[in-house]
Amino acid sequence: MVLHTLNAAPGSTAFSDCLRLLKQSDILLLLGDGTYAALKGTDGCSELKNSGAEIHLLEPDARAAGIVDRLDMQFKLVDFDTFAALSERCPTQQAWY
């Protein structure tokens, strides 16, 4: 199980590479520009859902972007404490920028 942290917008090379390597047993945490991938009805959102991985969004970043009310609520909003807990849960972490 790998914790992937994605700080890249949909359409970027990092976004595509992350999704290509993401496995169903992995966890993906969207932060920074990565939170835009969880916007309802977008291609990025569909790609995330099709990955089968457990998807989380860092709530402070989504709030800073002003997009919380437009997110697909299938994904879980988390705080920094939960981010730390996810890091403890996963033996490996891969950061994408």
- With bands split at pLDDT 50, 70 and 90, how would you rate the model's confidence at 82? very high
pTM of the model: 0.96
The per-residue pLDDT for 1 is: 96
Mean pLDDT, residues 10-14 taken together: 97
> Of 2, 19, 23, nearest to 10 (Cα)?
19
85-to-6, 20, 78 alpha-carbon distances in Å? 17, 25, 10
Q: For residue 86, is it left (φ>0), alpha (ψ between -120 and 50) or beta?
A: alpha
CATH code of 2-96, in short, is: 3.40.1260.10
Q: How far apart are CA 37 and CA 48, in angstroms?
A: 8
- With bands split at pLDDT 50, 70 and 90, how would you rate the model's confidence at 79? very high
- What the block records as the tokens of 91 is 């033996």
Amino acid at 10: P
The three-state secondary structure class of 38 is helix
Domain spans of the chain? 2-96
